[in-house]
Structure 1
């Protein structure tokens, strides 16, 4: 049954993603015909305002949302697999907040940094955020349990966000930084998009290479060691993938919460517990999910846009509370 679901999902996904992407490009504050979209792609006229909107605004936005949805979903799946923590995700474990914190420091103290330097800074921030959360969790009695680790992650994330906000206010760059904290899918930088793509793909490749090992690790540390698994190596490679995926996502569009929490659970429900299947399916479902959230965000308060993070939170917060109620403090 699960195999059939995987086949259906992977067969239908290109169609669904193509449809949602086209709708995302065509509809907005100003609706544009599909013929005009084709002309803007095939016969671009820089004097045509509709062509400019499509080429510099809507196409980069649609691609960025697809990529970020896929990256965050896979990052969440990896974190849940290697930690056996069903609440693990970039937004709850300090990874997103660490990225945004370092970006804040970069904008305030090193305003001349290039896009690629910003991306690597964001990746370093991801590693710092995750290191702080898991470091504090390991120092506290039973601190690595799902609920306690989520609390620690929330506290560390709030602390980093507060420090970043204070620095931004003091140096009067709050308006600039609000884009990273409230997401900026409506102003995607095409140069940044082209730079994040290969780094994100490296993260996906590392995730796929590690998929079998993550499946074994998810069975438990003792079982993995008994099967000859080099657990430390697996965790290092897996977290490197998480850093690549999350760091590029935050650098590209800012912080988006709950994608990495919700989508891996949905994926496991649909396809089972083999991470060789979970990782590609999470990428597909995550891309479609965030594109759908982006489209929804445009019409909640039309013609004004609602931040996409509000839409993901409307779905993610109840799901988070459901997981705590359903699972309590047990390991995944």
Structure 2
């Protein structure tokens, strides 16, 4: 385990919109193709979720946008595909078979930015963030780090998506630097499934599991290196296009959803207060309380539910003890965590884990 890891808080509070979160269908199509499925195998896989193969590669709709599928559906299918093919590290294994166009223009922005650091910063701020549910945060505080967060705790199983997402960014960074790149360390929140040596060969560095965040820890010297395909003019044009698309897709969210998203980047790093959230929203504590009351919620209630949801995910997908889960969520003692957990779920943490432990 890494000795002292403190994930960075997101750079800014991302905007959320109403569920369900969607992902472009071409991402799932690319994964199915890279996995080597026949049309019949792919059709059977998709039929479980009521999807058809031709719907993934269909033409843009009346609004000019490419076809999409629910993000939760994509994650379930990714996990089912790994089970059907008997490949426990499928997300990791498929990442280096994908081109930069998988995520749209931002993939090319990363490759043609003047430096790797500039490319990763642009990547973290762009449309790879899926409707506020997933996001990348690039930080140079302490050690340079790129963190991948899924704020909706009900989005699981998520292991293959997480491993694929970090491995894909690693793959793009290697392309940008002509293969001469490796992170300093890699962190995953979930428990390890598969050979540790396989992960460390892929990333070229130590890999740690059951950490506080999913992250690539980077080297400042690598971030300053020029990319092999640097084209600042093209990068600027693509970023302008992406900004226009961001505005087109933008939609309002409730304040409680935004608070929930912010908590994803704070819980586990230190004791959480309403002042932390108010500061990120550039407002006062009194104003934040008043606005939450107008939505019929309180900060204390949002925090309690968020902690319980995070606890459920950790109990289901990790091997952490109840004491370790309580500590990670900021509780001073197991008893207070157990009381809060029972208030939200109706049963003690160990009983909940026995009934819900993920077997995938």
User: TM-score per shorter chain, which class?
Assistant: under 0.3
- Bigger proportion of residues as helix: 1
Q: Higher strand share goes to which structure?
A: 2
Between 1 and 2, higher relative CO (CA 8 Å, sep ≥ 6) is seen in 1
- TM-score by structure 1 length? 0.25
Q: What TM-score do the two structures reach when normalised by structure 2?
A: 0.24
